[in-house]
Amino acid sequence: MASLSLNLSSLHHTSINPLILRCTPLNLRTPSLKPFSIRSQAAPVLSQDDLKKLAADKAVESVKSGMILGLGTGSTAAFVVDKIGQLLSTGQLSNIVGIPTSKRTQEQAASLNIPLSTLDLHPRIDLAIDGADEVDPNLDLVKGRGGALLREKIVEAASSSFIVVADESKLVSGLGGSGLAMPVEVVQFCWKYNLIRLQGLFKELGCEAKLRLVGDGSEKPYVTDNGNYIVDLYFKNPIKDGFGAGKEISALEGVVEHGLFLGMATSVIIAGKTGIEVMTK
């Protein structure tokens, strides 16, 4: 109506033919309907990091205020540490003490204001949560591709409960079955001598032993937080007797620790595309 009033006032007192107002009808025609279809949308595909975070969040549900916690190392364990830091900052957890399994985890936890200590001061740990590189049907593990196997094994062996978090890609029918590295930490002295001996132990399994390097094309050996080297073992066939293999590796002089974590996990939380599965013995 404002537009109409403006037009009328502009025509007042002018000598023109009688005003004829023509109202242009609104376009009331029914618009032509276009055919449409409803397409069902597939559920979003979860990335490997999404699955790791799901497993981590489930594991942290077991954390209670006042606990002494073993804090693992690696990409999945990092999600656990993040979640614990978040719950502490919001007051949903309190009086937590963390025992980190690597310098990397120590730095992450400190940045999140998680109180930290050592196994020397807290020799009994209520719960450890860590990732795994391989998980077999007996809940035996390969760990240490992140380079922290020695400290991980010490902390997790001192824990009353040890929860493993992983995505479904870590499941294997037998240890070594992924074809990826099974690490052995060795002293720097005569490392090549031990590399040859380790490869010889598992010759029938098609084992290939390699010194772990820093990466990025560098020929510089990777050095652990403990000042040692890592020899990675690659198996063409899975290890048949994990406990026997562990004993043979440990019997070699100069071997510090191996990445076979046998009989240690109390439960394993696996995140897959169909949901969360909790495996227990």
**Share of the chain residues as helix, strand and coil, in percent rounded to the nearest 5:** 30, 25, 45
Say how far apart CA 25 and CA 179 lie, in whole Å.
Answer: 77
pLDDT in tens, 2-42: 443 334 334 344 433 443 344 444 444 444 444 444 454 45
What one-character DSSP code corresponds to residue 178?
T
pLDDT of residue 119: 97
How many angstroms separate the first and last alpha carbons of the chain? 80
pLDDT of residue 216: 79
SS3 sequence of 99-117: EECCHHHHHHHHHCCCCEC
Q: Where are the domains of the chain?
A: 48-274
pLDDT of residue 224: 98
95, 64 in Cβ contact below 8 A? no
Pairing of strands 260-261, 141-142: antiparallel
pLDDT of residue 70: 98
pLDDT of residue 46: 84
109, 133 in Cβ contact below 8 A? no
pLDDT of residue 24: 43
Residue 269, beta-bridge partner list: 165, 278
pLDDT of residue 272: 93
Q: Catalytic residue numbers?
A: 152
Tens digit of pLDDT at every position of the chain (281 positions): 444 333 433 434 443 344 334 444 444 444 444 444 445 445 568 898 999 999 999 999 999 999 999 999 999 999 999 999 999 999 999 999 999 999 999 999 999 999 999 999 999 999 999 999 999 999 999 999 999 999 999 999 999 999 999 999 999 999 999 999 999 999 999 999 999 999 999 999 999 999 999 987 889 999 999 999 999 999 999 999 999 999 999 999 999 999 999 999 999 999 998 899 999 98
pLDDT of residue 105: 98
The architecture of the domain spanning 48-274 is 3-Layer(aba) Sandwich (3.40)
Q: Where are the beta strands (DSSP E) in the chain?
A: 68-71, 97-100, 125-131, 134-135, 141-142, 159-167, 182-186, 208-211, 213-215, 218-221, 229-234, 255-258, 260-261, 267-272, 275-280
